[in-house]
Copies of this chain bind each other. A is one copy, B any other.
Amino acid sequence: MYAVIYPMEVNRWGLFEFSCKTEIKGNPFTDQFLEGTFTSTHEQKRVAGFYDGEGVFKVRFMPSFAQQYSFVIHFRDEEDSFCSSFKVLSAEMGNHGPVRVANTFHFAYEDGTPYLPIGTTCYVWELQNEVLQKQTLETLKESAFNKIRFCLLPKHYDYNLSEPRSYPYEGTPCDSSVLNSENFNQYTGCATGNDWDFSRFNVEHFQHIEKSILALQKQGIEADLIVMHPYDRWGFSSMTKKQDNLYWNYVLARFSAYRNVWWSLANEYDLMETKSISDWEQYAQLICELDPYGHLRSIHNCGSFYDYSRPWITHCSIQRQDPYKCAEYVDQWRAQFKKPIVLDEIGYEGNIQHGWGNLSGKELTRRFWEAACRGGYGGHGETFFRKDRILWWSHGGCLHGESPDRIKFLKKIMEETSSVGLRFHQMHWDELCCIPDTFSSQNKTIQDKYVFYYGFTRPSFRKYHIDDTTEFVVEVIDTWEMTIENRGTFSGDFTIELPAKEYMAVRLSIV
């Protein structure tokens, strides 16, 4: 072990990275295992290292406390080890730690700051050209999105048939221009002509993804990493069990120490014909063992839900199963799974041919409101086919839809209404009502705030009665025009005139 590099100081929930050069013996990805043990007053964690190319091995660690840490690094089966220490400073401004489940159905950062997930999907934004990646980050900066789903492996699907900027393995891809149904099985992702060494990672591919994760982190955005997925022509979705395990070990060793990482075992796990439930359970076990920080874990469906009651699943990551109804089930799913309900796919605003990818901005916004009022979280996506052939859902770039501004407005309403999250409140059958979701509020007769959402119905007035005496400030919210109109203070029985338009809401706030 020589040419050792590591920092003397790092911030709490920052990335401590130990690097060293050493003699390469055999295949450094499969034959050499670096490990580290990190100890402070409050914690001791053991983490796996990885080979990062050019003779360099690394061990990464995320400290959870602003304390003095000592550490020991050694190669398994070798006697030599390296010991030292470093100091962990308090978290810098804007760094609240990793996101955790809070109050059963919601999220907060580790320092207790509430986190309302407003997610979007750009499956392979990080595998596009530099200009486009930069544009994606700029777009995100202006948006409300604080979580993004994307894949670690390249994607082969409609509108995304070109080659990625890099591949995860050493080797060469098939010639996609000659693929046909005889030399390409789209259900397993296997095509003739791929030539990969599945025992040697292309470290540049992973280094680049880390840069992307960090760039998101700087913008306060959680990286919901999709580790496996079915949309493939390179054979990455149908590797052997041993190859998959090597991949999972490498991914976990490299990415776990980034505080803004979430694990999505797969996008549309149920389309991956070569994987069984026991495979997924085993990958989940690997995450639980090798990610010592307990990042959020879920798995995303195409058709059938994975069994979200599995204890390793921290939150539901749902794709709608019914083209007509999805967000409307959130309160039922909360009761069923007792976990946060994140609707990572509820249809996309756009104009492509697929039924999931051509919703209006109004309909997508409505679904976000339905989800929010029932105590869950919608997920954004956009699929406009335009001359530039750049679709946000796949490539990132710019947003063209009408929903992102309205989703930002909804986030503001949510934040104003509750510091924890919302929950469904049973009132009349023909209006959706939500209240702040704190455990203590469950027993309150009168809530601090009530938000009534009228969706696609168009009342010209509504009658309210919370109790006979409590005074409420009444605000009429146009969720599409993004206006909030204060109508004054009311109590007892009262009637509020409404504009007989779709997508209106009314908020009552105790005086």
Contact = CB atoms under 8 A, between A and B. Distances in A.
Contacts of A478: none
A430 interface: yes
The complex is assembled from copies of this chain, and their number is 2
A500 B359 CA distance: 9
B325 A457 contact: no
A392 to B, nearest CB: 16
A363 interface: yes
Interface in A318-340: 322-325, 328
Interface in A350-394: 350-356, 358-360, 363, 385
A352 B459 contact: yes
Interface string A442-464: 00000000000000111111110
A286 to B, nearest CB: 34
B360 A458 contact: yes
Contacts of A359: 456-458
A351 B462 CA distance: 11
23 contacts: A322-B325, A323-B457, A324-B324, A350-B458, A351-B500, A352-B460, A353-B459, A353-B460, A353-B461, A353-B462, A354-B430, A355-B428, A355-B431, A355-B457, A356-B430, A358-B457, A358-B458, A358-B459, A358-B460, A359-B457, A360-B502, A363-B456, A385-B460
Report which residue of A352, A353, A456, A460 has the largest number of chain B beta carbons within 10 angstroms of its beta carbon. A353
Contacts of A324: 324-325, 328
A461 B358 CA distance: 11
Report which residue of A356, A428, A460 has the largest number of chain B beta carbons within 10 angstroms of its beta carbon. A460
A439 interface: no
Interface in A76-103: none
A430 B383 CA distance: 16
Contact of A458 (B351, B456, B457, B460): B351
Contacts of A325: 322, 324-325
